[in-house]
Amino acid sequence: MQLTQHFTLAELVASAKARELGIDNTPTPEAVARLRATAEVLERIRATLGDVPINVTSGYRCRALNAAVGGVTSSDHTTGQAADIVAPGYGTPLQIARALAPKVSALGIGQLIYERIGKKAWVHISTRVP
């Protein structure tokens, strides 16, 4: 299912860990609606970064998958309101976070976090506005 011009439901729910563990990561209809809104924010981010492709490294995670990957119980990933992204065509995740930080409100980002574990880094965005 195409959520927006550049983002599909399949890419926002894809999970190697879910496949590995046999976890059904199918979102609820309510989560699909939130994922569409998240994809719309990702479209705005893509445009802001010069229309470079964005790779979603983690999107929707059902509660079982979220627990399996060590996510916090209050994670916005479990409601379809978060995505972890990289955009190699733009630059490093730190460069992406720095480019987006001054535009958080205008883009509809509720939370922007540069995250790094070892040599892996990504940008976490949430569309939930407190």
Q: Which has the closest alpha carbon to 3: 25, 16, 19, 31?
A: 31
Whole-number Å distance between alpha carbons of 36 and 28: 12
Tell me what pLDDT residue 130 has.
Answer: 67
Mean pLDDT of 17-26: 96
Q: Do you know the residue count of the chain?
A: 130
The reply to whether the predicted model has a pTM over 0.85 is: yes
Tokens of 71: 């996510």
- The per-residue pLDDT for range 64-120, each reduced to its tens digit, is 999 999 999 999 999 999 999 999 999 999 999 999 999 999 999 999 999 999 999
pLDDT of 129 higher than 80: no
